[in-house]
Every structure is written in C-alpha cells, then in structure tokens.
Chains A and B, each alone.
Chain A
Amino acid sequence: MLDKLRKVALRLLQAVPTVFGILVVCFLLTRALPGDPAAYFAGPMADAESIEEVRKTLGLDKPLPMQFVTYVGDLVQGDLGMAISTGQPVMSELASRLPASLELTLGALLLSFLIAVPLGVLAATRPNTWVDHICRFLVTAGVSLPTFFTGLALMYVFYYLLGWAPAPMGRLDMMHLPPESVTGFLTIDAIIAGEWEVLGAALAQLALPLITLALFTLAPIARMTRASMLQTLGSDFVRTARAAGLSGRRVLITYAFRNALLPVVTTLGMVFSFVLGANVLVEKVFAWPGIGSFAVEALVVSDYAAVQGFVLSMALLFVALNLLIDVIYTLIDPRVGEEA
C-alpha cells in the first residue's frame, strides 16, 4: 500500500515540470497571437494615447520576461488575473464555468458509457446480427455528424417543432433560481438542497446538450468495446476457460469483459479530452455558460489572462485525469490485482 502511495506521489511530482512547461509555452504562444489587446480593449473611439494607457493598465508595456515573472508571481498567490473580455477574475470564471462544462461532459460520458459498453459487448458476441447493425449505424452517425449539427437538429425537433424541451437558454430557465452552490454541479447542488423542482428543471435543460454530446462520444467507446471484446473472445485464455467447461456467462464477464475493459478505459480518457474541446460548439448552441465558449471568446479577442488560465486549468485537469485512469487501471486490471 505504501509502495502504491509512493508511486502516486512520484507520478504527481512528474507532473510539475509538465505543468511549468505548459505555462511557459502558453505564455509565449498567447503573446505571439496576432492582434493587440490594448487596441481592442481601449474601445471604439480610442486614440493612440488611450490605447497606450490601456496597455499600461494591462501591464503589456513591460518587457516579456518581466511580464512572465509578474504572471508566475500572481499565480503562486492564486491570482490568475482579470479576464477583460468578461470583466471577471479568471479564477472566479473558471470556478463557475468548469463545473458547468464538467457536468455536461461527465454526464454525456456516463450516458454514452452506459449505452455504448453493453451495445459493444452485444455486438461482439453476436456479430452480423441486427444488434451489430444498430451498433454500426450509431457509430457511423456519431462520428459523421458534427456536434453543432446534432445540437441544432435536436433543438429544431424537440424545442422548435414539438415544444417538449425547454427553451435552450443555459443551465436553468428563468423560473428557477439556482440552488446554493456547493459543488457547482447544478443537479448535485439541487439534490443537496433538496429542491426537486430545480433538479427537474436543470435536468430538462441538460437533456438535449447531453444527448448531443453522448451521441458524439458513443462512437469511439462502442467501437473500442466491440473490437477489444472480439479480440479477447478470440484469445487463448477464453478458449481455455471455455474448454475447461466454465459457464458462458462466467467466461464472458470475468474473463473476457474485464480484460476487454482496459482499452475501453484508455479510450474513455482520450474521449474525455476531446469532448471538452467539442463542447465549445454545443455550449454555444445551447447558451451553456461553460469553459469552452469562454476560452474561444477569449482567444478571439487575445485576452491573455483568460487564455492562460484556461490552458493551465486544462493542464491540471488532464494530469489529474491521467492519474485517475492509472488508478482505475490498477483496480480493474486482473494482473495488477494479483500483485497487490
């Protein structure tokens, strides 16, 4: 156990240079962006003099190394600077927007995992039957439909034509006030506060964007489950287990499925990272106040502090995610289990 803890600590330490490297690269890259933020933020009638003033207030008149030192110094104190494009401290923007994006992303992943894994397993055990065809159809649809298109199509049908879905105006309609923020996840906060009506409203707002994203993430997970399931089913140890007379169910779940799950978890990690990117368009379509739309808007106007804060938080998120996946690996991998 101690050994495992030491391993985890070592992994965490390894992340430090990575994060620092990301900081430096991101700092330099944002400075290399075209466009002068001072000119942009000085406003519509600004003359050269007022642009200079804005440059000074933004600290952009100082040489680059100085700016970097100031940036890291502020960072150490937990200050990520001010996002001018939204007028809020980057820290509070991230704190309010990251949960919104995560709620969407994790919800979509959970939904697609719950559908894709059984579907993949079924498709692998019954190749070329109707289950396999459904799986193939969903996978093709999922990868070939861009998220904004799916989002708009779903909105058109379920909001515009049928009127089943609520108005796509963010995380909560105007009738309800958000519950007291504990986790930042509206659904969980509503449960904590015991406000079931708010929970229902939040879930209703969540439904369409969630389905949009889930359809998108379904494809790689289902495909990977099917492929790795097929592989393990055809492998020697499954054949041996069958030959030894173990029940089909036991062979499928204990032997084949547990082994097949490993690459699926890896895929899940990868899918998570690119879904956070794909989020951007879904967030725009559904007016979702998430981190993706924030970052894109910041990038468009060269809002340095916001972009840097976004990249840093993403870097930390992925370091944590990789760690988490390693831990899950040790939990589900039968071989690792034997060692412990």
Chain B
Amino acid sequence: MNRRDFLKGATSLSVGASVLPLFKILPASAASQETAVVVIGGTINSLDIHRSGTNRSSYQVAINCYDRLVSFGTKQMPDGSLSYDYDNVQPELAESWEISDDGTVMTFRIHEDATFWDGKPVTAHDVKWSLDRAVSLGGFPTVQMKAGRLSSPEQFEVVDDRTFRITLPFPSKLALPDLATPIPIIINSEVAKANATDDDPWATEYLHRNPAGSGAYKVARWDAGQQLVYERNDKWVGGEIPGYQRVIVREVPAQSTRRALIERGSVSASHNIPNKDAKELASKPGVKVVSTPIENCIYSLCTNLDFEPFKDKRVRQAVAWSIPYQKIFEQAAYEQGMPMWGGTDTVDKINWPQKSPYDLNIEKAKALMAEAGYENGFDVPLSFNLSHADWAEPAALLIQQGLADIGIRATIEKIPGANWRTVALVDKKLPLHLENFGGWLNTPDYYFYWAYIKGNLFNSYNYDNPEMARLVDDTLDMAMDHPDYAPNVKRMIELAFEDIPRIPLWQPTLNVAFNESVEGYEYWFHRQMDIRALEPA
C-alpha cells in the first residue's frame, strides 16, 4: 500500500481529517491519548491464524481483529493486576446461549447489531463457514478445535440467520471454553468466498493479508517485518469500545533496543520482556512492569523413560532431590514467577500447578541412587532449546552441578530452535531436557492429557502409566462439579509427583513493561497483547 492509498483508505474508514494532523504530532507518541505504540520482538507473519505456518506473534490479529462467539471475563489478581477469568465465560458475538440438559447441544443467539467492518450483519452462516474452516483446514486450528470436541462440519448447523447450533458427540466441559480460544474466529464469509479459488476454497491467500472480521480493531496497515497498525472499529458490539483510536505494533528484534525504547518513554509498551529486565525496570521511574504467572505453565526438567537409568523411578526421584531449586530460581528466573518445589508430602489441593514435595537433599538423592544400583552414577546429555537460552542455560548449568554431586555426569547440549520440536517433542529422544508446556484450556486434566499420556506431543519423556491414562480418560470431559472430579485430579497429581518424569522447577511469568500513560492491561492465556483493554491513563 502506498502513501496515497493509505490516506485514502484511512479517510474512508471514517477516521476523516484527523489522520493527517495526527501523524504530524505523533513523535510524542507514547504520551498520545489516541495512539499507543507497542514493541514486540517477534515478527508477524500472517493475519490469518488458521493458515499453516502462522507464528505465535501473529495470533494477536485473531484476538484484536476478530470476534468469537464467546470470550472470558476479567478477574483481579492478588497483586492488583488484571487477568482473564477462565471460570467466567462471557458473550462476545453470541448475546446468549443455551446448553441442552444432556450437555450435547449448544444453541447460540447472535447479537442483533453485530456487523462486519464492511457493514454486513454477522449471521449464523458466517459462523458456520468460519467453524467449518477451522475444523477442515488441518494443522494447528484443527487440533485445537478437536480439544473442544469439535471435529466435523456436520456438528455445526444454521438454525436461522441469528441462531447457530453445535452438536457434540458427548458432553464435554472443554467445548465452551475452547470456543473462546483465538482459533474459532468468525470471518466475513461473503468476502472470503468472493476471494476463494478452486485451489484455495477457504481463501487462505486472501485472508492472509486482508482480515475480514467484526472485531474491535481493523488493520489499517501491515508492513511485513516492520509494523502493524490497528485502527479502532467504533461500531464494535463484542465489548466495551477500546481506549485507543490507533495502536501501532512495531517489530524491534534486539532486546536491548526494546529496553532503551521503553526506558526513554518512546513507546507505550514492550511486550514479553525477559525476567532480568522485569526485575530491573520495575524500579525505574516512569515505567510500570506487570508480571503475571503464566497459567498452568511449568519450566521443568524431564527425564526420558526410554533412557535406561531413568526407567527406574528411584533414579528419577534422586534427580529431583539433587536440584538446587532456590539457586536456579534466583539466577535463571531472577525471582520472577512461582516456586514449584518444597511442597507438602501429601496432595491436598487440586489446583495446578502446585509445588512438588521435592527440594535439594543430596543425602536422600544419594541413598536413592545406591538403592537403584547406580551409586557410581552414569553419563547423560542434558539438552535445552537454544531459543530459550535466557532461562535454560543458567538452569542447565546449576542442574549439572547438582547432578555431579550424586555422581551423574551431565554434558550440556544446546539444540537450535528449528530442530527442537523434532527431536524433543516429535521423536522424543532426548534423555534429559528442559521443557515448558502450558495448555490454553486451564484445567489440570487437560494439562495431564497433553503431558502425561503416552504418544501425546508434550509427553516428551515417554511416560506411560495405565492408571494415569485411565484417570485422564475418565476426567477430561467431566464437569468440574462432578463428585469424581476432585479425587481423580488429586490422584493424577499424586502420580505425577510419585513417578516424577517431569520435575517442576518454577512457574514462569509473562512480563510486560508499560509507560505510565497506559493502563488497563489484561493477561491472557495466549500470551499475546490484547490491545482492546488498553486505555490512556
């Protein structure tokens, strides 16, 4: 888009004459009441979350530009910051919904005034086309839809223009929350169909560059590799009208540069800053840092059961007793996050994550090693993902020292990011490695499903326990107020700590630095900036 087209486009977006003078006064952008500037480290590589190859930084477009049928409410965290509320599903495009008594039929009533950016009303046909697309395109969107028991277009039905029905194969507590993840976005199906081709029936090429939604923000400009400019949609009905007229997301790859920008006050926010900066910036005047524990995400050391010594539970426990947790928390996490060690011996709560009963105790570890017949130790490579070097490298070095104390000689192996997924998660062949999984749907059984069931992606350590498998199978779709739910989850946690294939180190935080002129930030499980909540202070 060239300059002239942009201005023309901006005018037609009813921004009117305000655009030109505004761009002239933007240098003090951080202090601007109308424009916020956010810097990110990654690159946005698509405006369509369903497209194959779309990266994590791009998910923000799905959140800010599109609506889903439902969303989550907001809750206040103990430190006063705001977070989304998993237990409180709220209307977004659907003004109301009913779930049949047997829990398998969900009927949504679409908001009467909801329109797409081009003025076309949002109908149940658009909803069906969009959900059909999500379950049909394959790849990540299809996998995520499946988590909510949504796998086939036959499950989706248009009752009338404003009524939409979903039929589940069996009742599941995951279905409704799954509709609030960034995946089931509602797309303007008429625009999309007009730009579909025989080779590309779902218009992935068109929607890759041209979002067509009903969400709070439109994309005014996308300079791939440089910036994305959001322009507010003043006719949005999915929630309260956002505080900023325009939000510019700039890509700044160097962490030190991002830090200089936020410290100097040149930008409104810097998203996802490292722990070290979070700790240091918090004490600087003019900068606010919000650190939120990432829900059900745990930085862990994983012991692969395909590796001979780790087949023995006692060796895994010995490893868990040999880790200098506190030192790691200080030197790798800069004390940002929640400790996940040194808990009680018995499991009495069902919240997840919770502290494991392990702590640094070399005597206990040595005894277990001797009992297992490994008093002389063994050699093992300790691997981590080079893209996570900021926390994984110091953690690995300290773990290496701890292991040396009980005779295990670990050699550190750094694996490039592109290769990590293949060797760690797909081939599952790393004997000892650092991993960090956090699920989008925040229930413990969902976490155990992905991380403790043989063959599932995040079970990178080949853990296989029939009792765990049965428990997860029984619990995954069960309502949380079912009488069996709490005992089942408790038993899962007991097993996880007893068998300890995944040794929890700490729960990380998502850190965002703000200029003092910005408020309203809300943490979301997808770890992307939801700019809809931001407002000038």
Contacts and interface: CB of A to CB of B under 8 A. Distances in A.
A35 B416 contact: yes
Nearest to A43: B140
B151 to A, nearest CB: 12
Contacts of B138: 49-50, 53
B462 interface: no
A287 B257 contact: yes
Given A87-B53, A287-B252, A289-B225, A174 B37 contact: yes
Nearest to B224: A88
A37 B421 CA distance: 10
Nearest to B49: A43
Contacts of B45: 84-88
Contacts of A160: 260, 263-264
Contacts of A181: 2
Contacts of B416: 34-35, 300
Interface in B46-87: 46, 51-56, 58
B248 interface: yes
Contacts of B253: 284, 287, 293
B261 A167 contact: yes
A174 B140 contact: no
B495 interface: no
B43 A42 contact: no
Interface string A110-139: 000000000000000000000000000000
A301 B254 CA distance: 18
Given A88-B224, A160-B263, A168-B261, A53 B254 contact: no
Interface stretch (B24-32, B190-198, B300-308): B24-32
Contacts of A168: 252, 257, 260-261
Contacts of B25: 175
Nearest to A37: B418
A87 B52 CA distance: 10
Contacts of A42: 52, 139-140
A174 B139 contact: no
A323 to B, nearest CB: 30
Contacts of A329: none
Given A177-B23, A285-B254, A50 B426 contact: no
Interface string A140-170: 0000000000001001100110010001111
Interface centre among A33, A36, A96 (most CB of B within 10 A): A36
Given A174-B248, A300-B418, A285 B257 contact: yes
A301 B418 contact: yes
A146 to B, nearest CB: 14
A77 interface: no
Given A45-B457, A284-B254, A176 B264 contact: no
A36 B424 CA distance: 12
A103 interface: no
Interface string A31-59: 00111110111111111111101100100
B140 A50 contact: yes
Contacts of B251: 287
Nearest to A282: B254
Interface in B236-267: 248, 250-254, 256-257, 260-261, 263-264, 266-267
A263 interface: no
B26 to A, nearest CB: 5
A45 B144 contact: yes
Contact of B140 (A33, A44, A169): A44
A179 interface: yes
A174 B260 CA distance: 17
Given A180-B2, A287-B250, A47 B457 contact: yes
B27 A170 contact: no
B328 to A, nearest CB: 25
A286 interface: yes
Nearest to B437: A44
B280 to A, nearest CB: 14
B260 A97 contact: no
A152 B417 contact: no
A302 interface: yes
Given A39-B422, A45-B457, A167 B267 contact: yes
B413 to A, nearest CB: 12
B208 interface: yes
Nearest to A299: B418
A302 B415 CA distance: 13
Contacts of A301: 417-418
B5 to A, nearest CB: 10
Interface string A274-286: 0000000000111
A287 B254 CA distance: 7
Interface string A8-50: 0000000000000000000000000111110111111111111
Contacts of B421: 36, 39-40
B52 A156 contact: no
A86 B29 CA distance: 27
A178 interface: yes
B256 A152 contact: yes
Contacts of A302: 418
Contacts of B2: 180-181
Contacts of B144: 45
Contacts of A289: 223, 225-226
Nearest to A52: B138
Interface in B107-154: 138-140, 142-144, 147
B419 interface: yes
Nearest to B47: A87
Contacts of B27: 173-175
Given A155-B260, A159-B264, A47 B208 contact: no
Nearest to B440: A45
A87 B56 CA distance: 13
A87 B253 CA distance: 17
21 contacts: A35-B417, A35-B422, A36-B421, A45-B147, A47-B457, A50-B138, A57-B52, A84-B45, A86-B45, A152-B256, A160-B260, A169-B252, A174-B37, A174-B250, A175-B24, A175-B27, A181-B2, A286-B257, A289-B225, A297-B43, A302-B418
Given A33-B418, A168-B257, A175-B29, 19 more contacts: A35-B418, A35-B419, A35-B420, A45-B143, A48-B426, A53-B52, A54-B53, A54-B139, A85-B55, A87-B54, A87-B58, A167-B261, A168-B260, A169-B266, A170-B226, A174-B27, A174-B37, A177-B6, A177-B23
Interface of B: 2-4, 6-7, 23-27, 29, 37, 39, 43-46, 51-56, 58, 138-140, 142-144, 147, 208, 223-227, 248, 250-254, 256-257, 260-261, 263-264, 266-267, 416-422, 425-426, 457
Complex A-B, nearest 7 residue pairs according to Cβ-Cβ distance, in ascending order: A35-B418, A43-B140, A87-B45, A35-B419, A167-B266, A84-B53, A287-B252
